[in-house]
């Protein structure tokens, strides 16, 4: 059974940093692109970033470029999102999701972790 479990969310002040993790199990992690998607309270879904199987390619939504970094550790079956210079508008539930290809469906999603940016 495919499982994605996010962790690392919490309350952080504007300008602060946070690192999210996603532990993957039930599939061969290093065979899949992975994504982060976020959802602000009461709002829609927003794709944040994705990363190739070997971390050789990474893509970001414009609003997080230069502030967020996606990475992975295939030996640990883990996906990460380093978030720096956080802003109030980054407040959201952050989901990790498995891509079925570089530009394919997000077939499995974790339960999400809440990030709140507030003073």
Partner 1 sequence: SYELTQPPSVSVSPGQTARITCSGDKLGGKYVCWYQQKPGQSPVLVIYKDSKRPSGIPERFSGSNSGNTATLTISGTQAMDEADYYCQAWDSGTAVFGGGTKLTVL
Which residues contact partner 1 by CB under 8 A? 35, 37, 44-47, 50, 57, 59-62, 95, 100, 102-107, 109-112
38 beta partners: 46, 94
Strands (DSSP E) along the chain, which ranges?
A: 3-7, 10-12, 18-25, 34-39, 45-51, 58-60, 68-73, 78-83, 92-99, 106-109, 113-117
Q: Which C-beta is closer to partner 1: that of 11 or that of 104?
A: 104
Q: Which residue has the tokens 């640990």?
A: 76
Least Å distance between CB 7 and partner 1? 15
Cα–Cα nearest to 89, from 54, 49, 117, 59: 117
Least Å distance between CB 12 and partner 1? 23
Least Å distance between CB 88 and partner 1? 21
Q: Which C-beta is closer to partner 1: that of 23 or that of 61?
A: 61
Least Å distance between CB 73 and partner 1? 23
Q: Which C-beta is closer to partner 1: that of 20 or that of 37?
A: 37
6 beta partners: 22
């Amino acid at each position: 059974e495919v499982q994605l479990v996010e962790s690392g969310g919490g309350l952080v002040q504007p300008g602060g940093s946070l690192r999210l993790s996603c532990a993957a199990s039930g599939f061969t992690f290093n065979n899949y692109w992975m994504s982060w998607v976020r959802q602000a309270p009461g709002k829609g879904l927003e794709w944040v970033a994705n990363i190739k199987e070997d971390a050789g390619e990474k893509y970001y939504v414009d609003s997080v470029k230069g502030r967020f970094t996606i990475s992975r550790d295939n030996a640990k079956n883990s996906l990460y999102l380093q978030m720096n210079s956080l802003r109030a508008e980054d407040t959201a539930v952050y989901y990790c999701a498995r891509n079925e290809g570089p530009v394919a469906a997000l077939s499995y999603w974790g339960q999400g972790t809440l990030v709140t940016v507030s003073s």
